[in-house]
Amino acid sequence: MAASRFVEQLNTQIGNEFAAHQQYVAIAVHFDALTMPQMAAFFYRQALEERDHAMMMVQYLIDADERVSIPGVASPKTDFVEIEEPIALALAQEKSVTDQINELTGIARDERDFASDQFMQWFIKEQVEEVATMSDLLTVVRRSRDDIEDIEEWVAREGGDEGPDPTAPRPAGA
């Protein structure tokens, strides 16, 4: 059994991950409407990753024989003025999720819940990658804000799908 404090906070995090999913869909739609197919595809993939993160957490709770609670989420931001605004939002979101993941890991450790601590390790690694990716993308977009073709080219070259991570926890329903 997982520690009750951890279970409660992981259920909250499931909602955070679904909210991130929704925000990335909104960002993808924004770039789709701007006829930026590489940026749109990049954020659609990011949305699916966030959904999978939520479902990995769901599966962990099921495997631990704990109650799963799927919280509702607030509507995502959909209106953006500057081209870098959605990426800055995505970077801030990833930094916030990193803090949430670290808090969850701290709870598992405080409660001596070693299985939950071990489960969180993959998410810690994932967040380092996510923050770095969004930070790099924001740098490129700020540098090339007046040349969307340059942004699209960089995303096509650097922002592609790397394929599934064999070390990732299994999502529920997979």
Residue 33, CA distances (Å) to 28, 83, 87 in order: 9, 12, 16
The single residue listed with the structure tokens 């953006």 is: 80
- Tell me how far apart the alpha carbons of residues 100 and 83 are, in angstroms, rounded to a whole number: 27
Question: pLDDT digits over 35-70, tens only?
Answer: 999 999 999 999 999 999 999 999 999 999 999 999
Assessment of whether the complete model's pTM goes beyond 0.85: yes
**In the chain, what are the domains?**
4-158 (1.20.1260.10)
